[in-house]
Amino acid sequence: MAEVHERIYGYRQNIARGEIGNGNGDVIALTANAIFDQAWAALLDEFHVTDIADAMILGRLVRRSWFRARHRGRRDLQRSPRISTKAG
């Protein structure tokens, strides 16, 4: 999360200086795009978040990654450790 916060801060500073234009000011979207442009895969395994701001950022990053994967013809893999007890 430290790297994510650094990237968000950097984008805010770049927008404030006029170095980059971001019409809607969504620095989290810019951060997500930068991370997923560099990544071949993103693996999240059993993490615990205690900071509400971090939880909100993670939620937006994950949603953004799923959106990008689907619109670029990629598949995302999801696994839940919970076992369903419903017969289906």
pLDDT in tens, 23-46: 677 898 889 888 888 877 666 667
* φ, ψ of residue 50 in degrees (nearest 5): -110, -15
Least confident of 15-24, 37-46, 73-82: 73-82
**Predicted TM-score (pTM) of this structure:** 0.69
* Spatial distance between the Cα atoms of 34 and 32, rounded to a whole number of angstroms: 5
Higher pLDDT, 42 or 58: 58
Q: Average pLDDT, whole number, for the chain?
A: 78
CB atoms closer than 10 angstroms to residue 31? 23
* Spatial distance between the Cα atoms of 49 and 17, rounded to a whole number of angstroms: 32
